Amino acid sequence: MFRDKCVAVTGGSRGIGRAIVEAFAAEGANVWFTYHSLAETAETLAEVLRSLYPDQTFTAVKCDASDPEQVKAFFEEHLDELETLDVLVNNAGITSDGLMATMTQDQWSNVINTNLGGVFNMTQQVLMKLILQRSGAIVNVSSVAGVYGNAGQVNYAAAKSGLIGLTKSLSKELVGRNIRVNALAPGFIDTDMTSDMNDKAKGEILGKIGMKRMGGAEDIANAATFLASDRAAYITGQPLVVDGGLVI
């Protein structure tokens, strides 16, 4: 589905981002993905993919999504030179949970600057390229917390909710230029991000999920490749909830 296409994924070294990178790779794409700090994890993934798919390009780049200068350098060094950039997946994200009454300014700004500012930084860099080539698909990874809210996550929910507003607004700016912008809102997905939840909290959440299981990263990757593909050619400006029936 993505043979010879060029795809950029932020936060592609682990968890959902890694599954997204792997899914695009399996569909024939060349993939440039960023990571924040775990260089060995990211480089190992790129190596494995190169050996699995020797005719495709896989590049791991250290780039803090919250830093506009690093994002600009990533774009200028790796993406600007491509004839066409077909897909951007804004996946990089962090949590720093706590009740609002005791949340620090750093907890607030780190999450907002990464989860929402990072998407602004990356998308703004690639925008002119997509507009000039008159094609492209952007997929922003939001969260059910951004749709329904979640106690203990005002920073995260605000960023993820803002991301849905960004997605809808940008899709209106780009709909006439053959560029689609959509969002994914995953429910509870089994990754490092959710691994430190205690058994009691996990049990409570499982009790609320209709399918009685946490999602796998591949569940989100399947939705990401769908939204980026021509099969979703008539879909733009939409948040797609992928939560196993958490909220029906």
Nearer to ligand NAP, 96 or 135 (CB): 96
Annotated active-site residue 234? The verdict is no
Catalytic residue among 35, 53, 156, 234: 156
Using the rule CB under 6 A, give the single segment among 24-32, 33-41, 72-80, 205-213 that binds ligand NAP: 33-41
Site for ligand NAP in 38-77 (CB under 6 A): 38, 41, 64-66
Element (H, E) at 2: none
Burial of 134 (0-12, 13-18, 19+ CB in 10 A): exposed
194 touching ligand NAP, by CB under 6 A? yes
User: Which strands make up the sheet holding 58-62, listed edge to edge?
Assistant: 58-62, 30-35, 6-9, 87-90, 136-141, 179-186, 239-242
Nearer to ligand NAP, 14 or 180 (CB): 14
Rg (C-alpha) for the chain, rounded Å, is 17
Q: Shortest Cβ distance from residue 191 to ligand NAP (Å)?
A: 3
- What one-character DSSP code corresponds to residue 108? H
Q: Shortest Cβ distance from residue 190 to ligand NAP (Å)?
A: 7
Length reported for the chain:
248
Using the rule CB under 6 A, give the single segment among 74-82, 121-129, 182-190, 200-208 that binds ligand NAP: 182-190
The pattern of x and - marking residues 73 through 92 that bind ligand NAP according to CB under 6 A reads ------------------xx
36 touching ligand NAP, by CB under 6 A? yes
Q: Shortest Cβ distance from residue 239 to ligand NAP (Å)?
A: 12
State the residues that interact with ligand NAP by CB under 6 A.
10-17, 34-38, 41, 64-66, 91-94, 114, 118, 141, 143, 186, 188-189, 191-194
Catalytic (active-site) positions: 156
